[in-house]
Structure 1
Amino acid sequence: MDSEQIRELASDLIRQLQSIDDQRRIIIAMAGIPGSGKTFLSNQLQQEVNRQASSNICAVLPLDGFHLSLQQLQALPNAKEALNRRGAHWTFDGAGFVSTLQAIRQQSSSTVLAPTFDHAVGDPVANAIAVEPHHRVIIAEGLYLHVENEQPWSSIQSIIDQTWWVQPQNPQLAQQRLVMRHVQAGLAASEEEALLRIQHNDGLNAAFVEQTRCQPTRIIYN
Structure 2
Amino acid sequence: MRKTHLAHAVALGLNKKAGISLRDSRGDTDTDGSQDVAIAVPMDGFHLTRAQLAAMPDPENAFARRGAEFTFDGAAFTAIVESLREPINKDLPSLKLPAFDHAVKDPVADQIVVGPRQRIVVFEGNYVCLNKLPWSRAASPEYMDERWFVEVDFAVARKRLIRRHIAAGIVVNEEEAAKRADENDLLNGTEIVNNKVSPIDETIVSQEDASWK
Q: Distance in 2 between matches of 1:137 and 1:91?
A: 27
Q: Which runs of 5+ in 2 are unaligned?
A: 21-35, 207-213
Q: Distance in 2 between matches of 1:107 and 1:98?
A: 17
What is the correspondence of 1:20-169 to structure 2 with a 5 Å cutoff? Answer: 37-55=2-20, 56-106=36-86, 108=88, 109-148=92-131, 150-156=132-138, 157=140, 158-168=142-152
TM-superposed deviation, 1:175: 2.3
**Residue-by-residue CA offset, 1:45-95 (whole Å, 9 max, x unaligned):** 222222232221111121100000111111111111100000010000000
TM-superposed deviation, 1:204: 0.8
Which structure is higher in RCO with an 8 Å CA cutoff and minimum separation 6? 1
What residue number does 1:220 align with? 204
Q: Distance in 2 between matches of 1:211 and 1:166?
A: 14
Verify: 1:178 aligned to 2:161, yes or no: yes
TM-superposed deviation, 1:199: 0.4
**8 A Cα contact 2:150 2:205, kept in partner:** yes
Q: Distance in 2 between matches of 1:50 and 1:191?
A: 40
Verify: 1:190 aligned to 2:190, yes or no: no
AA partner of residue 62 (structure 1): P
Q: Distance in 2 between matches of 1:189 and 1:40?
A: 26
TM-superposed deviation, 1:191: 1.8
AA partner of residue 220 (structure 1): I
AA partner of residue 152 (structure 1): P
Q: Distance in 2 between matches of 1:106 and 1:113?
A: 15
Q: Distance in 2 between matches of 1:204 and 1:107?
A: 39
AA partner of residue 151 (structure 1): L
Q: Distance in 2 between matches of 1:161 and 1:188?
A: 38
Percent same amino acid at aligned positions? Answer: 37
AA partner of residue 158 (structure 2): Q
Q: Distance in 2 between matches of 1:143 and 1:178?
A: 14
Pick the structure with more helix per residue. Answer: 1
AA partner of residue 166 (structure 1): V
Q: Distance in 1 between matches of 2:75 and 2:87?
A: 18
3-state SS of the aligned residue for 2:11? helix
- C-alpha root-mean-square deviation of aligned residues, in Å? 1.5
**Residue-by-residue CA offset, 1:153-194 (whole Å, 9 max, x unaligned):** 1111131111001112x5433322211211111111112211
TM-score, normalized by length of structure 1? 0.79
